Amino acid sequence: MSDSPAPAALGGLSPEESEKLQEAFKDIATRSQKLLQDFSQRYQADGQRPADPLHLTQTFMDFTAKMLADPNRLVQAQVELWQQYMKLWQVTAQRMMGQPVEPVAEPARGDKRFNDPAWRDEVVFDYLKQSYLLTARWLQGTIKEVEGVDDKTARKVDFYTRQFIDAMSPSNFAMTNPQVVKATVESKGENLLKGLQNLLSDLERGKGRLEIRQTDMDAFKVGGNVATSPGKVVYQNDIIQLIQYAPATEEVYEIPLLIVPPWINKFYILDLKPENSFIKWATEQGYTVFVVSWVNPDERLAKMSFEDYMNQGPLAALDAIEKATGQRKASAIGYCIGGTLMAATLAYMAARNDDRIVACTFFTAQVDFSEPGELGVFIDENQLANVEEMMGKKGYLEGSEMATTFNMLRANDLIWSFVVNNYLMGKDPFPFDLLYWNADATRMPAAMHSYYLRNMYQKNLLSQPGGIVLDNVPIDLRKIRIPVYIQAGKEDHIAPVRSVYKATQLFSGPVRFMLAGSGHIAGVVNPPRNKKYQHWLNETATNPPTLAEWQAGAKEFPGSWWNDWDKWLSALSGPKVPARVPGTAGLPAIEDAPGSYVKVRSGT
């Protein structure tokens, strides 16, 4: 037994609770000190870092000058806000006296921040909520009415103002969130203590950078309980592993299917679990499915170019598929940036009279970046230069940088909800395969990523005939004459439907455009068995010039669009032949699916 005296009990706590609390504080103090020391050492080693690498200060100063140039309008806006506050005060006072009242401001549909009944039932919290909503909407409305500001600056100011507004929500603070207040009282503050420990753990894992856990990262294993469809890696090079999946039918279509996913994320979004696996479902429909698994690059691949990704990606995969199956022709799917690459590849092949791809499907893919949505906010010269500077130090962009960008597009759902859950409520995040995949980010090779951002997003050269040249071939998307199926998500924040639709006006062959319910992920991964969402089709012979015109003539259908796509592709995939077993024909198996490339995590 130890001779050291037991710690003195803290007021209102039992000796056991007091000891537990003091141990927790000791642990927090030790870990905090180490984090501060590590941060100080890194800061000194890296030299003085710019305080505002994105030049947001100058952007907002210029915007403010425009706003102040019309003082009458600013005063009018302030008076309008004051009148709304007065109305809220009156309504709140009436409610406190027991009178029935209608709210002055209500959350938007789908805003989960204020779901707890206390935000509605308790007068104080209801007032906080409505006051916040009034201010937030007034601020965004006032900003949009400022004249003399160019579109890019206006979008940038609006986006970062929204980030500030989201951060300042009363739901994000311990004393103004009724759920947190209740949990703090009931647990005697243990939730905040556990939350502080969660915060320190996230800082430690990020080596001083806050990496918010969105799910239990120990609950999943690639190849264990996600990415489990059976198959073999039958080819690999420095950039890809090519997986051939085991057939699920005795006969398959003669023409195999190649899936080219984005290299910004890992391919197993299409194979999370058997119930919602697009890959598994496609094999069940009788397709011989091949999937590109991109490498998670390090500094050795810093100089890999967009052209290299074409040559060693889809083009190398087509060569391998012919060896594996004896079939020269194939159909293809390009998802997101994988679709952008596939469009460039198809134009390259058309210019060289290469007819191996007979049909192509695009999942949420942009080829005309004139209206890229909110991601365009991050594409100006100052921000691109900052990204290139970061990549220049390592030879690649860390996956966490891209993940943060995507999370900011839905900050309340993908950032602040976890701040509340993990740090204020002191809870561990729930195991969720989709969020595990979302956190399993990949790096971007410096040369390729810089080329992509500048030539696609900044200059929009892919949509212009000869705007880019790959392997000495000018790229012209209008030379693509094969049948094309384009999928877009109605609520997609990453590849907005209006931007995706522009491809219908560029390709010269027959184009079937389909609009799916939901967004960038759920709009794609929506198996028929789930009977969720809906999709729209317009059966006119040609696609009209604008999305609005297309929607005016479109018909809504319940549930998944997968069966419509299958009907379209099966007609283009040739007769049935005996099923092909991976690794038994022209290409021997290298290893079991999902392969080793997909298992390399950033930072490992």
Please check whether residue 113 is in contact with residue 171, taking contact to mean a CB–CB distance below 8 angstroms. Answer: yes
User: CA–CA separation, 406 vs 403, rounded Å?
Assistant: 5
Six-digit token pair at 548? 């609005």
Residue pair 412/113 in contact by the 8 Å Cβ criterion? yes
Of the candidates 386, 502, 394, the one whose C-alpha atom is nearest the C-alpha of residue 453 is 386
Task: Please answer whether residues 243 and 443 qualify as being in contact, where contact means their C-beta atoms are separated by less than 8 angstroms.
Answer: no
Q: Does a cis peptide bond (omega within 30 degrees of 0) precede residue 297? A: no
Catalytic residue among 255, 258, 333, 336: 336
Q: What angle do CA 418, 604, 212 make, to 5 degrees?
A: 10
Residue with tokens 């052209």: 307
Tokens of 226: 């996600």
Is 336 catalytic? The answer is: yes
Tokens of 291: 């999937």
Angle between helices 151-167 and 56-68 (to 10 degrees): 100
- Under 8 Å between Cβ of 22 and 198: no
Are the C-beta atoms of 286 and 255 separated by less than 8 Å?
Answer: no
Question: Tokens 């032949």 identify what position?
Answer: 577
Residue at token pair 């590109």: 292
d(CA 577, CA 585): 14
- Scanning 117-224, the segments in alpha helix (DSSP H) are 118-121, 123-144, 151-167, 178-187, 190-205
Beta-strand runs (E) in 194-314: 231-236, 240-245, 251-253, 257-260, 289-294
Tokens read off for 391: 């990549």
Residue 592 bridge partners (DSSP): 232
Helix (H, G, I), strand (E, B) or coil at 260: strand
Q: Which residues are catalytic?
A: 336
